[in-house]
Chains A and B, each alone.
Chain A
Amino acid sequence: MSDTQGPMWEVFLQKKAGQPFVHCGNLHAFDKEMALQNARDLYTRRMEGTAIWVVKSEHIVASSPEDQGAFFEPANDKIFRHPTFYQVPDIIKHM
């Protein structure tokens, strides 16, 4: 059945300047202006954010659960990327 409700959009909110934009949900809207207004009405009724991004859901590129291993496991055995891997004498400060 074809949908008469407009395309789906993803909504990202920034709580206040300086903080990251975080995904908070999605909604239907017919164009980008309406998507922004709907996001304001739907997701910031209680000052949850002071800036909004909206993007059409079809433009999101996502990794697949089946690829999770191949995609993320290579980072597992590279503990030398963490600072605690390295020995520094106790008397050395500020490091």
Chain B
Amino acid sequence: METYNFENIFEGKLAKNEMIEPKDWMPENYRKHLIRQISQHAHSEIVGMLPEGNWITRAPSLRSKLVLLAKVQDEGGHGLYLYTAAESLGTSRDEMLDALHTGKAKYSSIFNYPTLTWADVAAIGWLVDGAAIMNQVMLQRTSYGPYSRAMIRICKEESFHQRQGYEAMTRLAFGTPAQKEMAQDALNRFWFPTLMMFGPPDAESPNSDNAVKWRIKRETNDELRQRFVNQTVPQIEYLGLDFPTNSGIKWNETRKEYDFSEPNWVEFKNVIHGNGPCNKERLQARNTAHKNGEWVRAAATAFAKRQEEKREAA
């Protein structure tokens, strides 16, 4: 009888840049790492709907309201793609939602900051979605098939998100002095939280090693962060805005890249651990929404059962 060395087959696939599919054998830690990462990614999409949803009724024009509605709907869709990708690894939707609602699971720290002005909505599209795209473009080539396929779909939809944000930002930056000031203020407040989105510095990143070894990630937090800064600085300059307060942005002629100041990693840890400006509000909003949907799920289950019985009787 032929025997298989599953670990060798798995490693061999990774070495040849082949994808791992749900029915393939995989190390338990690879499975766990993916469930954690994909479910957190899904939670981020869903919680990310809240700070932007906050502005739907107050969007300054019908056009911007349509755009924002479409964007928030996309984020919901992205969450759904990702949840089913995680479910292919053997977890359930209920388990994941429960982990989110009880605060056991994390989501991107950026969504624990408030959207105080319309310029914040613009800054989120430009900076936050810009940073997310940088990460997601890399994840299109992640080693787990369903995650990669979800990322390819998401990236196709996401570039509209960044472009609409930058467009809204240009309108403010080239608008009245008050609008320009609003744009500058949003940039100042969202700059460091955006840099935090790439995760802790490589030297202190607990999950990075395995993620790169297993080709879940193909670039490190610091590499992605540097690329984001290089790409974003000319976009700030075009807007005619000042570099964000204490950002330390400066061209480095030797490295041919921009130097920049690290975000405050103590603040990052605080926000991750539940002490950001909006953590409680976000969790409460998610819990309320889930609870308010309970009767809908119960009614849909009952209806489906009745339809099934009718079909059987016919």
A contacts, CB < 8 Å to B = 1-6, 8, 24-28, 30-31, 34, 41-42, 45-46, 62, 64-66
Q: Tell whether B267 is near chain A: CB-to-CB under 8 Å.
A: no
Which listed segment binds A: B33-41, B88-96, B229-237?
A: B88-96
Q: Can you spell out 28 A-B residue pairs with CB atoms less than 8 angstroms apart?
A: A1-B92, A1-B94, A1-B98, A3-B93, A4-B301, A6-B297, A6-B300, A6-B301, A8-B84, A25-B81, A25-B84, A25-B149, A25-B153, A26-B84, A27-B84, A30-B300, A30-B304, A31-B300, A31-B304, A31-B308, A34-B304, A41-B77, A42-B77, A42-B81, A45-B70, A45-B157, A64-B23, A65-B24
Smallest distance from the beta carbon of A47 to chain B beta carbons, Å? 12
Q: Tell whether B80 is near chain A: CB-to-CB under 8 Å.
A: yes
From 261 to 314 in chain B, residues with beta carbon under 8 angstroms from any chain A beta carbon are 297, 300-301, 303-304, 307-308
Q: Which of chain A's residues have a CB closer than 8 A to the CB of B92?
A: 1, 3, 5
Q: Tell whether B4 is near chain A: CB-to-CB under 8 Å.
A: yes
Interface of B is mostly: helix
Q: Tell whether B87 is near chain A: CB-to-CB under 8 Å.
A: yes
Q: B97 — nearest CB in chain A belongs to which residue?
A: A5
Interface size class of B (residues with CB under 8 A): 20 to 34
Find out whether the CB atom of B303 lies under 8 angstroms from the CB atom of A30: yes
Q: Which of chain A's residues have a CB closer than 8 A to the CB of B303?
A: 30-31
Given A27-B80, A31-B300, A34-B304, 14 more A-B residue pairs with CB atoms under 8 Å apart are A1-B94, A3-B93, A5-B92, A5-B93, A30-B301, A30-B304, A31-B307, A31-B308, A45-B70, A45-B77, A62-B23, A65-B21, A65-B23, A66-B4
Q: Tell whether B185 is near chain A: CB-to-CB under 8 Å.
A: no
A42–B79 Cα gap in the complex (Å)? 11
Asked whether A6 and B80 contact (CB < 8 A) given A1-B94, A45-B73, the answer is no
From 74 to 110 in chain B, residues with beta carbon under 8 angstroms from any chain A beta carbon are 74, 77, 80-81, 84, 87, 92-95, 98
Find out whether the CB atom of B94 lies under 8 angstroms from the CB atom of A2: yes
Find out whether the CB atom of A5 lies under 8 angstroms from the CB atom of B84: no
Q: Which of chain A's residues have a CB closer than 8 A to the CB of B308?
A: 31
Q: Which of chain B's residues have a CB closer than 8 A to the CB of A42?
A: 77, 80-81
Q: Tell whether B25 is near chain A: CB-to-CB under 8 Å.
A: yes
Q: Tell whether B211 is near chain A: CB-to-CB under 8 Å.
A: no
Q: Tell whether B173 is near chain A: CB-to-CB under 8 Å.
A: no
Q: Which of chain B's residues have a CB closer than 8 A to the CB of A5?
A: 92-94, 297
Q: Which of chain B's residues have a CB closer than 8 A to the CB of A62?
A: 23
A30–B301 Cα gap in the complex (Å)? 6
A5–B80 Cα gap in the complex (Å)? 12
Smallest distance from the beta carbon of B163 to chain A beta carbons, Å? 15
From 92 to 147 in chain B, residues with beta carbon under 8 angstroms from any chain A beta carbon are 92-95, 98
Find out whether the CB atom of B304 lies under 8 angstroms from the CB atom of A6: yes
Smallest distance from the beta carbon of B164 to chain A beta carbons, Å? 14
Q: Tell whether B150 is near chain A: CB-to-CB under 8 Å.
A: yes
